[in-house]
């Protein structure tokens, strides 16, 4: 009886090892499939609709797959980016849904969701009767505005204004303190208040 009892666990062990081995192969295959889909970008939306292009001076933060919006609704996505070697401008190709027919005088503006949000292309349709054909170019564009550039322009404009004000004050022969901009000096008490302690 001892031999029958020891034979049962030994016969189950190879089947359990085989099941564990098969589970390991399935997990590895799933990880490989996930890695391949991430690297090849199969998670990206397929390009549907027709393609348009636009040139911008700056596209900071705009990338492939960034949304293209009309009135706040996604109507396409950025499908290609390149720099024009002659004009040194960024040329962006984007798709637009086939049911959206844009006038020829449509404007494309690169904007962001929030201060720290991602960038997207906002389309502002004009009033022209003709529409942009597939493969057409949006000519009215505004590039991305950098928060750092805006802050530096503000700081420099404030310091320039202050230095210009100081120069005009000293050119007139008065110091900022004499012009009423300095530290206030105590004045003599009014004539009737001299008797009070």
pLDDT of residue 161: 79
What is the spatial distance between Cα 22 and Cα 105, in angstroms, rounded to a whole number? 61
What is the spatial distance between Cα 162 and Cα 158, in angstroms, rounded to a whole number? 6
CA angle at residue 54 from 49 to 56, to 5 degrees? 145
Q: Is 59 helix (H, G, I), strand (E, B) or coil?
A: coil
Residues in the chain: 197
Contacts with 189 (C-beta within 8 Å, 6 or more apart), sequence order: none
pLDDT of residue 172: 56
The string of pLDDT tens digits covering residues 45-60 is 556 789 999 998 888 8
Banded model confidence at residue 171, pLDDT cuts 50, 70, 90: low
pLDDT of residue 20: 85
pTM above 0.85, yes or no: no
Residue extents of the structural domains in the chain:
15-39, 50-147
Q: Is 164 helix (H, G, I), strand (E, B) or coil?
A: helix
């Amino acid at each position: 009886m001892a031999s029958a009892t020891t034979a049962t666990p030994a016969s189950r062990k190879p089947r359990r090892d085989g099941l564990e081995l098969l589970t390991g192969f399935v997990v590895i295959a799933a990880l490989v499939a996930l890695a391949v889909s991430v690297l090849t970008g199969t998670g990206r939306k397929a390009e549907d609709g027709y393609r348009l292009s636009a040139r911008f001076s700056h596209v900071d933060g705009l990338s492939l797959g960034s949304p293209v919006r009309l009135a706040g609704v996604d109507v396409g996505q950025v499908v290609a980016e390149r720099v024009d070697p002659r004009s040194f401008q960024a040329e962006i190709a984007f798709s637009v849904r086939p049911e959206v027919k844009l006038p020829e005088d449509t404007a494309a503006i690169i904007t962001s969701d929030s201060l720290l949000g991602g960038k997207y292309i906002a389309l502002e349709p004009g009033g022209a009767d003709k529409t942009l054909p597939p493969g057409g170019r949006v000519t009215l564009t505004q590039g991305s505005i950098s928060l750092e550039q805006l802050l530096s322009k503000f700081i420099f404009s404030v310091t320039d204004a202050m230095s210009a004000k100081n120069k005009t004050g000293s050119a007139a022969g008065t110091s900022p303190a004499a012009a009423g901009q300095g530290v206030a000096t105590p004045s003599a008490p009014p004539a009737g208040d001299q008797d009070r302690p």
